[in-house]
Amino acid sequence: MDIESVLKLALKYGASEAEIYLLTSRAVSLKTSDKIISSSTSKVASLGIRAAVGKKVAVVGTQDISDEGIKKAVEAAVHIARASPEDPDWKGFNEKVESTSIEGLWDKETAEAGPEVLREVVDSALQAVFEGSKYSRPVRGSFTTSSSVIEIVNSYGGPVRGEGTSATMSINVKAVVDGREGTFNDFDASVSLKKLRFIQIASEASKKAPEFAKATRIRTSTYDVILDTLVASSIINVMLSPALSALNIQERRSPLKGKLMSEVLSPELIIEDVGTDPELVSSRNFDDEGYPINDKIVFDSGVLKTYLYDTYTAKKEGIESTGNAWRTYSSNPAPSPNHLVIKPGDSSLNEMISEVKEGVYVLRTIGEWLSNPVSGNLNATVTHAYLIRNGEIQGTCKGFVISGNFYRVFKDRVRLLSKEFRHSIRVSSPHMLLEKIKLAGE
């Protein structure tokens, strides 16, 4: 499809300016229990048309990409824009449509992998679970390779074209020890299939699951808490990603409003928004409005240095976009982090554990996404944790709730960051030792 001709069509129908976004994606996915139980492929093209008539704006997305389907979508976009009231803050589309040069976002082998290629990877991962522990077996998993092409053009520039691939896996393991059941789950994501750590992830999950067959409950009290890299990443993502969005700042839904250049988090925390590292699956050449990607420090020793902007929110304040627009093909873009990277500390995980007199090392939680990023109320239910007494791990525990105000905890209670570090999908973090955290248990 020629997106420049779609742009011309929008202007012909009466748009004063327009933007065309085309996403073409292909995916292969295998689902597993203790073997491969389903296999599917998909190929989908999705077209987004944003049209402005003066300060009236609308977006129409279509996956009907026949000539007639495209024509109808363009007509609808211009028609809805005309029928809408003006947005007084509208100041036009992105005027810097450019691509940042980043090598390594696309891998040929991953892009071309069919179900048979992926099957070999999955078989190896399942075998690693069986070999990891005599008590464990894989009960559920998902393995996917995908490739995508994004093309963007608007009235001011482009087209730009960016290609990317990804390989992702998740695995759930169950162990039965003396009639009691323990579980563990883990995942990995990479730009290429060959970098996916499928054997290591599967093997370690297999070894961990039996440990949780004898997990105990803990009493409601205050404890020192070590957050695993993935748990820390998930909490940071849930609480900070919406709060950093300039849209939420401008629409007064963020507790970070008015806090620029203030010490919001612990001085231990240096957090960068990274979009150019080819090791991260979220990296890309340009954002979803075609603005070139860049990296920037968001928190420097706990001080908030910048909000994250797309074109709309940036133009409203008369500044440059930070290249943080994200969208689906049928929605307006909105600013969100590309990938928050929390700078590791100097302690090892073992040193952290030895520092804890009475506490827990939290490996997995569920429901942290139910926390409230507006009020800052943090809640997460712990499903897998180690009990720590006098600096040593003393067994496993589960079924308690971490709660508190995120900003109080992450400003005043962060004691140590580990040098061990792990990439997650949109956040990368070290382990964190937090002091005096209220845990609701028995």
Tell me which residues in 179-198 interact with another protein (CB under 8 A): 181, 183
Can you tell me the distance from the alpha carbon of 272 to that of 236, in angstroms, rounded to the nearest whole number?
12
Please tell me whether residue 412 binds another protein under the rule CB under 8 A: no
Please tell me whether residue 114 binds another protein under the rule CB under 8 A: yes
Q: In whole angstroms, how close is the CB of 311 to another protein at the nearest point?
A: 14
Pick between residue 308 and residue 416 the one whose CB is nearest to another protein: 308
In terms of Cα–Cα distance, which of 273, 274, 254 is closest to 264?
A: 254
Contact indicator for 359, 391 with CB cutoff of 8 Å: no
Pick between residue 52 and residue 352 the one whose CB is nearest to another protein: 52
In terms of Cα–Cα distance, which of 363, 258, 342 is closest to 297?
A: 342
Pick between residue 5 and residue 40 the one whose CB is nearest to another protein: 40
Please tell me whether residue 63 binds another protein under the rule CB under 8 A: yes
In terms of Cα–Cα distance, which of 249, 186, 241 is closest to 212?
A: 186
Q: In whole angstroms, how close is the CB of 146 to another protein at the nearest point?
A: 11
Q: Which two tokens stand for residue 167?
A: 């390989």
Q: Which window, 31-39, 102-110, 293-301, 348-356, contacts another protein (CB under 8 A)? A: 31-39
Write the DSSP symbol of residue 220: S
In terms of Cα–Cα distance, which of 241, 246, 292, 245 is closest to 271?
A: 241
Binder among 367, 392, 394, 419 for another protein (CB under 8 A): 367
Can you tell me the distance from the alpha carbon of 219 to that of 234, in angstroms, rounded to the nearest whole number?
25
Please tell me whether residue 441 binds another protein under the rule CB under 8 A: yes
Binder among 23, 402, 409, 427 for another protein (CB under 8 A): 402
Binder among 8, 11, 34, 420 for another protein (CB under 8 A): 34
Please tell me whether residue 167 binds another protein under the rule CB under 8 A: no
Q: Which window, 99-107, 151-159, 298-306, 361-369, contacts another protein (CB under 8 A)? A: 361-369
Tell me which residues in 88-107 interact with another protein (CB under 8 A): 88-89
Helix (H) or strand (E) holding 418: strand 414-423
Write the DSSP symbol of residue 85: P
Please tell me whether residue 127 binds another protein under the rule CB under 8 A: no
Please tell me whether residue 73 binds another protein under the rule CB under 8 A: yes
Tell me which residues in 225-264 interact with another protein (CB under 8 A): 251-253, 255
51 phi/psi in degrees, rounded to 5: -125, 140
Tell me which residues in 313-332 interact with another protein (CB under 8 A): 329-332
DSSP 314-377: HHHTTS---S-EE--TTS--EE--S-EEEPP-SB-HHHHHHH-SEEEEEEEEE-GGGSBTTTTE
Size of the site for another protein (CB under 8 A): 87
Pick between residue 249 and residue 416 the one whose CB is nearest to another protein: 249
